[in-house]
Amino acid sequence: MTKWPIPHAMQLALDAARAAAAEGEVPIGAVVTRGDEVLAVAANRTRTPPDPTGHAEIVALREAAAKLGSERLIGCDLYVTLEPCAMCAGAISHARIARLYYAAPDPKGGAVEHGALVFEQKQCLHKPEVYAGMGESEAAELLRDFFKARR
């Protein structure tokens, strides 16, 4: 049996998630790419410095925008290990991300295929193409192990 390989960018996001767990942050990672170029690799960073908006997606989008010198990330894709929440889905739309790839669904906090369904609102000015499931088991296991160890 050959397992279908996880794309490089999602693998980088999973690696970032793993590193975040080691620092006590919830293990979620995100990567922004433009073609083959990796523009930003980030993980959840809500504690140091304290930042309620410090989800992996937000950190990655801000870094990519700074790098490109534009708040619109035209032609860029975002890879993230967990289904984005309402805050992050909104940010992805504002940033004009072309394609969103996420690993695990998040019934409790996700807002792409759950809850607020941010991209499905008729007000949503920009909706990325959305692909889910690559690296799902790896991403979910990271989160499960993290929260199990903290109980």
| Start-end of H helices in the chain | 8-22, 56-68, 86-94, 136-150
Q: Are 99 and 75 in contact (CB under 8 A)?
A: no
Q: How many residues bind a copy of itself (CB under 8 A)?
A: 45
120 is known as an active-site residue: no
For a copy of itself, the binding residue among 2, 36, 69, 149 (CB under 8 A) is: 69
Q: Which is nearer to a copy of itself, 41 or 61 (CB)?
A: 61
Q: Which of 29, 97, 18, 109 is nearest to 64 (CA)?
A: 97
Give the active site residues.
57
Residues that bind a copy of itself (CB under 8 A): 46-47, 49-54, 58, 61-62, 65-66, 68-73, 85-91, 93-96, 107-111, 114-118, 121-125
